[in-house]
A and B are shown apart, each in its own frame.
Chain A
Amino acid sequence: MTLKIEDVRNIAQLARLQIDDADIEQYATDLSSILALAEQMNAVDTTNVTPMAHPLDATQRLRPDEVTETNQRDKFQAIAPDVKNGLYRVPRVIE
């Protein structure tokens, strides 16, 4: 699978990654070779094979409905880039 520059731009957009124009071609090359590696999977037929979600095929444990967490806002917000009045702030989003 060879990726074009446009494909790389689309993927970078989906992943919200800024890629400099100078680097895009290298990314296209590198990503294409990694995808070529992935193509090797087609060598084996997997019809009717159940995908493996967990090595031990375990099922989800359930937690009782209890409030166990206390308010740690100050601690958590001490490491935030922009906080005011207890709210995290980002540039204005227009809906």
Chain B
Amino acid sequence: MTRSITQIQQGLADGQFSSVEITQEYLTKIGSFNDTINCFITITDELALQQAQAADAIIAAGKARPLTGVPLAHKDIFCTDGVKTSCASKILDNFIAPYDATVIEKFNQAGAVMLGKTNMDEFAMGSSNENSYYGPVANPWDFERVPGGSSGGSAAAVAARLAPAATGTDTGGSIRQPAALCGISGIKPTYGRVSRYGMIAFASSLDQGGALAQSAQDCAILLQTMAGFDARDSTSIDTPVPDYSAHINQDIKGLKIGLPEEYFGEGLDADVARVIGTAIEAYRKLGAEIVDIKLPNLKLSIPVYYVVACAECSSNLSRFDGVRFGHRCADPIDLEDLYKRSRGEGFGDEVKRRIMIGTYALSAGYYDAYYLKAQQLRRLIKQDYEKAFAEVDVIACPVTPEVAFKHGDKSDDPVSMYLQDIYTIALNLAGLPGMSIPAGFSQGMPVGLQLIANYFEESRLLNFAHQYQQVTDWHLQVPELK
């Protein structure tokens, strides 16, 4: 039950098991553990078995594609035709999506099987999966701790091996941070690499779909299917998708890894720093050259992010108004009442906070001071990375300042929650690709190492990650589910 995607592909091809058999295995395990871990909002068992059956027929006919028959879980932010798509929000509790997201279409065409839709922070706003209408998600390594967010459900599902891999989205770290806290691998590609069509928008200029899996090798397989130009997304970039799996075995000797000093200062837990240090040593042994670099505008990334993301989401979420779909309040007395109560009842507190911050930042008189200023600083942050990549091939750093905290620890103060994102956010602002891979443990909880590459260099990222996973076995650790 801890088979990787690669092993499942092999097993299906060899006839060791059928898609129906392994799909059923996963569904059974989900049935046993989902009440505790709460990583699935919707379990699409009937649909999964139908898809598995169809897949088995295709395999038997010798027409299998790379993901034919492979079960996957999808973050409940991707629209799935005929299947509930909630974004973990009450306002979409009754929303059955009438179309498939491009990413879902691609997985369908690739023959994959959908186990269900995973839990998340409501509308992708959060770093702990405590902001879900459907309740919090438990970290499989310690049920009293958070799995991270917003793709907490996907990360927990993969960590607990309730799904071999899952999709996620990353706006400020929402793939990388939960991957790190749950001890699995996650990749957020370059902005524009994966289509956003059908991926319910939080912050349009930052959102990007990606993968969470047991290894870089598995991430490469998923990304291969997800990536590609989509004419329905104006921000999608038309550039060829390389064969990600082909490049992961390249030697990294002589390549340069940059360590940004701003990431290793105050605020980083000492034991986490130790784990990261050990990981860097492993890279040194693999022949990479370690170089000190600076990313001077890093600390600005949090205020910049929250202004930009909140401004964009305040507008993106206006469509949730109780008129054409989603939650509508009972007996609205007039239009104003319809809007205010439907939205007031439908959105959770964090979502309302961010909508209001965004509304304020864009309102008359404040646009220059907030949104415009943030977009200017964004260019400076991007320039920092450009300078760095002139000197190094990859940047390495921690993903989070500390390991997974306990549920409720940061609920009282939104800002302390926001500061969890300090190491992940800058990347989204610049639109660069990044990964998180398991690098060890601290206090019994997983620690992730973050790798950042230049635009459209996902192959390089996967290569670096894979080389590390050839000489370490952190990524093979699986929690004992109690």
Contact = CB atoms under 8 A, between A and B. Distances in A.
B339 interface: yes
Contact of B372 (A37, A39, A51, A88): A51
A44 B297 contact: yes
Contact of B359 (A14, A52, A55, A56): A14
Nearest to B363: A14
B376 A37 contact: no
Interface in B38-82: none
B356 A15 contact: yes
B380 A91 contact: no
Max chain A CB contacts within 10 Å: which of B96, B191, B356, B415? B356
Contact of A55 (B96, B355, B431): B431
Contacts of B392: none
Nearest to A36: B415
Interface string A25-60: 001001101110111111110100111111110101
B473 to A, nearest CB: 35
Contacts of B191: 54-56
Interface stretch (B108-116, B212-220, B328-336): B328-336
Contact of A90 (B205, B306, B338, B431): B338
B303 A18 contact: no
A4 B129 CA distance: 30
A43 B304 CA distance: 12
Interface in A62-77: 63, 72, 75-76
A22 interface: no
A12 interface: yes
A44 B324 contact: no
Contacts of B382: 52, 55
Interface residues of B, number: 72
B325 A80 contact: yes
B204 to A, nearest CB: 10
Contact of B356 (A17, A33, A63): A17
Interface size range on A against B: 35 or more
A75 B98 CA distance: 7
B360 A31 contact: yes
Interface stretch (B144-152, B344-352, B393-401): B344-352
B234 A17 contact: no
Contact of B98 (A8, A46, A79): A79
B370 interface: yes
A91 B337 contact: yes
Contacts, number: 168
A43 B370 CA distance: 13
B267 interface: no
Nearest to B358: A15
A14 B343 CA distance: 12
B303 A39 contact: yes
B340 A18 contact: yes
Given A44-B377, A49-B380, A90 B323 contact: yes
B300 interface: yes
B480 to A, nearest CB: 38
Contact of B341 (A15, A18, A61): A18
Given A17-B352, A18-B343, A41-B307, 10 more contacts: A7-B360, A11-B363, A31-B357, A38-B307, A41-B304, A46-B373, A55-B455, A56-B431, A63-B231, A91-B334
Interface of B: 94-96, 98, 190-192, 205, 231, 234-235, 237-238, 297, 299-300, 302-304, 306-307, 314, 318, 321-326, 328, 332-341, 343-345, 347, 352-353, 355-357, 359-361, 363, 370, 372-380, 382, 413-415, 418, 430-432, 455
Interface of A: 3, 7-8, 11-12, 14-19, 27, 30-31, 33-35, 37-44, 46, 49-56, 58, 60-61, 63, 72, 75-76, 78-82, 88, 90-93
14 contacts: A11-B359, A17-B356, A18-B345, A19-B344, A27-B353, A37-B303, A38-B303, A40-B303, A43-B300, A49-B380, A55-B191, A56-B192, A61-B238, A81-B325
